[in-house]
A and B are shown apart, each in its own frame.
Chain A
Amino acid sequence: MSVTIQLKVNGRPVSAEVRADTMLSTFLREQLRLTGTHVGCDTGSCGACTVHLDGRAVKSCNVLAAQAQGREVTTIEGVTPVDGSLHPMQAAFKACHGLQCGFCTPGMVMCAIDLVTHHEHATDEQIRAGLEGNLCRCTGYHNIVRAVAQAAKVMGR
């Protein structure tokens, strides 16, 4: 029923006992108290739970904590610089008003970082397609798309 997992979270080693059926999102939020990763649905559809697993975006509600054994997880907290400044993607969202209620935002930022790092994103169409796994109910996506394009330039991508 329970398994012990060893993994890295935001650069630090973590060792924990989890129920075998615990999803990564629950593990992060409830056991590690990294509540920046949010849960918005129960069908893997909304993307609010997006984190990076070995540097690639995944929906953490769709990954068992046990599947992260021996791997590196990065959450929104891990992407945030410790000196109070912002990652270029975060700064672009702020400058472009790419967030309103903030609930989809961590997942959206994590997806966007993966998008500009690993996928085609030169056109608005490509950015919009790249964000298809993330729902936002507040912004209408208009400013999110602008923010992603702006951040890509700053990040040299």
Chain B
Amino acid sequence: MSAVQPLIGRSIERKEDYRFLTGAGQYTDDIILPQQTYAWFLRSPHAHARFRSIDTSAARAAPGVLAVFTSKDLAGIGGLPCGWLIKSIDGSPMKEPKHPVLAEEKVRHVGDPLALVVAESLVQAKAAAALIEVDYEVLPVVVDTAMAAKSGTAVHDMAPDNVCYTWAIGDKAAVDAAFARADHITRLSIVNNRLIPNAIEPRAANASYSRADDSYTLYVTSQNPHVERLLMTAFVLGLPEHKVRVIAPDVGGGFGSKIYLYAEETALVWAARRVGRPIKWTAERHESFLTDAHGRDHVSIAELALDRGGKFLALRVHTTANLGAYLSTFASCIPTILYATLLAGQYATPAIYCEVQAVFTNTTPVDAYRGAGRPEAAYLLERTVELAARELHIDPAELRRRNFIRAFPYASPVGLSYDTGDYEATLNQVLDFADVKGFPARKAASAQRGLLRGIGYSCYIEACGIAPSNIAGALGARAGLFEAGEIRVHPTGKVTVFTGSHSHGQGHETTFAQVVADRLGLAIDDVDIQHGDTGKVLFGMGTYGSRSLAVGGTAIIKALDKIIAKGKKIAAHLLEASDADVEFASGEFRVVGTDRKKGFAEIALAAYVPHNFPLDKLEPGLNENAFYDPANFTFPAGSYLCEVEVDPDTGAVRIDRFTASDDFGNVVNPMIVEGQVHGGLAQGIGQALLEGCVYNSDGQLLSGSYLDYAMPRAADLPAFRVETVKGTPCTHNPLGVKGCGEAGAIGSPAAVMNAILDALSPLGVTHFDMPATPYRVWQAIRAARR
């Protein structure tokens, strides 16, 4: 029988929690295979060096060592690919220097791997690696994003000025004309600080080869096992794709850093056949700091032209984006397609132009990190808007209202078509829940205690649910961005769902089951969600870009449509009715206008006991799949309000309250959605107050451990007030969902910095860059005094 009330919209406790709470999860490092061997990578201690020779003879002879490999052994395999071709303004393709699996001739960042040691134990592998002798010729280093193109030191010969591409979007002439007649121009020089994702589970892999059937099995911490397999087999190792199984078991957080094809698992798969035994590798945290793709790292000039009434006339942006030493898998599209196309924000700015110069440096490769380009856009825009409000003496909320987009669909001047939205709704909600009316009294009370209080806004929008393949392809993507889902109905009426989405914290085993159980009229325990295994799941592009419910969920819905369509045929046969006269609702197939019906379980059994089926028209079985390519991005949006207290003597910032109002369209599990926002807020606040990746001028990573890189801890963060409005459901997917995984990280940094700058404005501080650590706040106060 059907569930009494719908499951969609309810905060159902998660099905996956039992194993995580009891220590029964299976993460990649938990796996030890029979005949296991252990891997350790020799990594460059230099940020930039040529090496003439690598002498592995002592290492190979060391106790317990089975093999030592360098790039010479890997001759003939391809480099790690980049999946998105960006073209420069002059039409030329981006520079794509080879990203070798193990360094060839040169190392280009501290941590760049040169050799793989495989031994009976990790201790022996590490000891052997210490015996490898490398003849380095240290080269000059380029680290600074803003100076890279002028540095005179080339990271790659093919890019003598370190420029990978110079890309642009928008109408430069229209923007220049608007600036010429503007009543006011707000100008901001702004940095988006480099971050290190730091999922608490380090990256890991365990690769094995079977001579019995000439096949490979790879366990790896991946957000997208099918993509991992395709890239590795087709573009790097030249292996038959169908003979390689990639399994991403329980994965302890990704945030983007586990999307990419990395050197380590690629080298392990290659080596597994040569060694003939399974090889296991797990990053130590210092390796994660050095080799997980970093995020953000933009240096920009933003200019906003306004009329005297505060109407935005044009936005002009120049950004230099740091790619690091090599192009990571999606690196090229992050500071372009996923960034500049969001510069309209929630506003009807008629003309926008953005130019992006992406540069190589001797640092860790940079790629998508929670938000991937959209946090950079939201931060730049919302800081600029708030500064304009201050300069024009217009209330920051009022300035935004004067410029909100109000008619949908809206074609922005930077290429996106927003399907629907209601930006007033979230702004009004956040003003109410944050008790902005009470702020002046709270500010006065803080002043009594010698503290400065400020509030800051961030009205963000983002584009997620990536992506329509035809749009992505036209913009340079070398892959499609559809999703796949398969529904297997068992003879007993239980259901297994195979999804190409991957859960590494998002709760799909629960939310997807809510969707399927609701539709089929089943109990949630009768639906099981399977993901993460290329041996079980038909295909998938994986989970990132807040796409799982919007794209993966829709693929499942379409497969459900097919299941129900076939179920109707089976029911029609059993009930001796015509297919068109059968309807399905609440778990029952019923002949319209009668009480003749069959339950879902009866139909399921009949599918596998197909007595008297008209086999020319109706096959046995009840198993359907669907691939869904989205019609558009989705556009979650919201308003965030941060209130802070700043101690002007110490620079310490305390967040008094953080209020978030989001429009995510329809919500399947409110508790899980809130949790996603909490996590995003923590990362965005971490960026604003604590985090920052620091390299010295020699390219040494100074912030290379949890002792040096300030991860937000419980005492660093307030409780959050997170609300959603009933909102504007997405118009182009059947669930009406927009996605929520990244919003918190996208909207929050500007709200925090705007609040701090509001608090400090009486002291003459107008801007400084993140993170707003006590020292940096104190420095800003002192600088303003001069």
Contacts and interface: CB of A to CB of B under 8 A. Distances in A.
Nearest to B22: A80
B253 A103 contact: yes
Interface stretch (A35-43, A52-60, A65-73): A35-43
Q: Per DSSP, are chain B's interface residues mostly helix, strand or loop, or mixed?
A: loop
Contacts, number: 180
B720 interface: yes
Interface string A127-142: 1110110111111111
A39 B26 CA distance: 13
B63 to A, nearest CB: 13
A40 B505 contact: no
A106 B714 contact: no
Contacts of A106: 21, 23
Contacts of B29: 29, 39
B286 interface: yes
Nearest to A80: B22
Nearest to A19: B123
Contacts of A131: 713-715
B714 A132 contact: yes
B679 interface: yes
Contact of B284 (A34, A36, A42): A42
B285 A41 contact: yes
Contacts of A94: 13-14, 17-18, 21
Interface in B1-33: 11, 13-14, 16-27, 29-30, 32
B480 to A, nearest CB: 27
A42 B285 contact: yes
Interface stretch (B199-207, B394-402, B598-606, B764-772): B199-207
A80 B23 contact: yes
Contacts of A127: 714
Nearest to A93: B21
Contacts of B715: 125, 128-129, 131-132
Contact of A136 (B200, B285, B286, B671): B200
Contacts of B678: 139-143
Given A37-B23, A99-B20, A48 B713 contact: no
A32 interface: no
Given A94-B13, A97-B671, A129-B715, A76 B706 contact: no
B683 interface: yes
B14 A41 contact: no
Contacts of B30: 29, 35
Interface string B214-257: 00000000000000000000000000000000000011110100
B706 A137 contact: no
A75 B32 CA distance: 20
A99 B250 CA distance: 13
Nearest to B685: A140
A74 to B, nearest CB: 12
Interface string A80-97: 100000100010011101
Interface in B360-400: none
A145 interface: yes
A30 B251 CA distance: 19
Interface string B506-531: 11000000000000000000000000
B707 A97 contact: no
Nearest to A103: B252
Contact of B253 (A34, A45, A76, A101): A101
Interface string B526-568: 0000000000000000000000000000000000000000000
Contact of A135 (B32, B679, B711): B711
B706 A45 contact: yes
A134 to B, nearest CB: 8
A46 interface: yes
Given A30-B32, A45-B706, A132-B714, A140 B22 contact: no
Interface size of B as a range = 35 or more
A33 B29 CA distance: 11
A43 B707 contact: yes
A104 B705 contact: no
Contacts of B286: 42
A101 B17 contact: no
Contacts of B27: 35, 38, 103
Q: Per DSSP, are chain A's interface residues mostly helix, strand or loop, or mixed?
A: loop
B587 interface: no
B514 to A, nearest CB: 14
B77 to A, nearest CB: 30
Given A94-B14, A94-B17, A144-B714, A77 B23 contact: yes
A101 B304 CA distance: 41
A139 B146 CA distance: 34
A1 B364 CA distance: 38
A35 B252 contact: no
B714 A43 contact: no
B648 interface: no
Contacts of B14: 94, 97
Contacts of B252: 38, 40, 101-104
B23 A142 contact: no
A137 B679 contact: yes
Contact of A40 (B22, B285, B681): B285
A101 B285 contact: no
B689 interface: no
Contacts of A100: 253, 505-507, 675, 679
A109 to B, nearest CB: 7
A124 interface: yes
B706 A132 contact: no
Interface string B17-53: 1111111111101101000000000000000000000
Contacts of A144: 714
A143 B707 contact: no
Q: Give the most central of B20, B507, B706: most A CB within 10 Å.
A: B20
Contacts of B712: 140
Contacts of A97: 11, 13-14, 671-672, 674-675
B501 interface: no
Q: Give the most central of A40, A101, A106: most B CB within 10 Å.
A: A101
Contacts of A38: 27, 200-201, 252
B198 interface: yes
A134 B200 CA distance: 10
B346 to A, nearest CB: 24
Interface in B171-224: 198-202
A104 B23 contact: no
Q: Give the most central of A41, A129, A138, A141: most B CB within 10 Å.
A: A138
Interface string B250-270: 111101000000000000000
A90 B202 CA distance: 24
Contacts of A86: 18, 21-22
A138 B253 contact: yes
Given A99-B20, A141-B714, 18 more contacts: A35-B27, A35-B30, A41-B706, A42-B284, A43-B285, A43-B705, A93-B17, A97-B13, A99-B17, A101-B200, A101-B251, A101-B505, A102-B250, A132-B713, A134-B713, A135-B713, A137-B679, A140-B678
10 contacts: A36-B22, A38-B252, A77-B24, A80-B22, A86-B18, A93-B21, A97-B675, A101-B505, A136-B714, A145-B719
Interface of B: 11, 13-14, 16-27, 29-30, 32, 123, 198-202, 250-253, 255, 284-286, 504-507, 671-672, 674-675, 678-683, 705-707, 711-715, 717, 719-720, 744
Q: What 9 A-B pairs are tightest by C-beta distance, nearest first? A: A36-B23, A102-B20, A103-B252, A140-B682, A101-B505, A45-B706, A100-B505, A140-B678, A76-B23
Interface of A: 19, 29-30, 33-43, 45-46, 48, 75-77, 80, 86, 90, 93-95, 97, 99-106, 109, 124-125, 127-129, 131-132, 134-145
